[in-house]
Every structure is written in structure tokens, then in C-alpha cells.
Amino acid sequence: MELSNLSYAPGSRKNRKRVGRGIGSGHGGTSTRGHKGLYSRSGSSQKAGFEGGQMPLQRRLPKRGFTNVFRVEFQTVNLDKLAKLEGVAVVNLEVLHQKRIIRKKNMPVKILGVGELAKAFEVHAHSFSKSAKEKIEKAGGKAVVVGAASQSAA
């Protein structure tokens, strides 16, 4: 077998349907579009979800609940994760990202109070739970609030 005698597998290639090339071609006249109606015209298209005049599904279903556009979504970090950090005195967003405790740099971080701290850390985050703040200060550390994440959502 050489490059010069390669060929396509039988049935793998098909000629394009050539419409509007005369009545003898079998696809002349209306060019496979039928007579009259929306899809016989050029520029024909319908909105997504159009059901031929029937009430569309998105209008038949009941609307429930609501989405709060002011909601602030936090990345959460528990104290037991911070307790595992070695050789770090100041825990800020950069350190959390480098140690892969948080995934996104541009999303606010909230520290939660699950677990215990044995070492004193200075922890920088956008928000703290009450128990987390108490445990950090009890261990001799400091809880520092950073950034502009709304405190009302915390």
C-alpha cells in the first residue's frame, strides 16, 4: 500500500444534492422546498421553541421562585484545612490559592469554624463565621476582613 493508490472506503463519501438545476435533475422546480408556506420562502426561520401556534412549553409551565441578583457566592474554607498548613504565619488569598485550598482568585472567601486550630494564624478573608473568628482568636491568631464582598450576605 502506497500513498498513490489509497482510496476512500466505499460509501464513505456522498455527492452534494444539487437543487434548482432543472426539472430533469429531479430537484428542479421548487428545489425540494414544496409549494407555498414558510419554509418555501427565502430567509425562513422560526424562534427556538415555536410550536406552530400552540402555547409553547416555556409559557405553559408555572413560574416559581426568584433569583436574587445581589447574592454573593463565597468559596468556603474550614479551619481544619488551615490547621494542616505548615510553615505559614499569614494565611491570605494568595496562600490559599497556591496550596489549592481555593480554586478561584476572583471569588470571595469565607472561613467557617469546622475543626480546631492549634497554631496562631493571621487569616485574611472576605468573611468569617462567628465560631471561626472565635477559634482563630482563641488560638492566638487574628481574623482580618479584606475586600469589598458585602458583609450583609455573610
Summarised one tens digit per residue, pLDDT across range 100-145 is 999 999 999 999 999 999 999 999 999 999 999 999 999 999 999 9
| pLDDT at residue 50, as a whole number | 92
| pLDDT at residue 148, as a whole number | 63
| pLDDT at residue 149, as a whole number | 53
| pLDDT at residue 151, as a whole number | 52
Closest CA to 81 of 113, 33, 125: 113
Q: What is the H or E stretch that residue 125 is in?
A: strand 122-125
Is the pLDDT reported for residue 72 higher than 80?
A: yes
For the chain, domain boundaries: 16-41, 75-153
What is the average pLDDT across 85-109?
Answer: 94
**Separation CA 24–CA 50 (nearest Å):** 36
| pLDDT at residue 44, as a whole number | 87
Is the pLDDT reported for residue 154 higher than 70?
A: no
Tell me which architecture the domain covering 75-153 has in CATH: Ribosomal Protein L15; Chain: K; domain 2 (3.100)
Q: How do residues 14-66 score in pLDDT, each as one tens digit?
A: 988 899 999 998 899 999 999 998 899 999 898 999 999 999 999 999 999 99
SS (H, E, C) 83-122: HCCCCCCEECHHHHHHCCCCCCCCCCEEEECCCCCCCCCE
| pLDDT at residue 62, as a whole number | 95
* Banded pLDDT at 1 (limits 50, 70, 90): confident
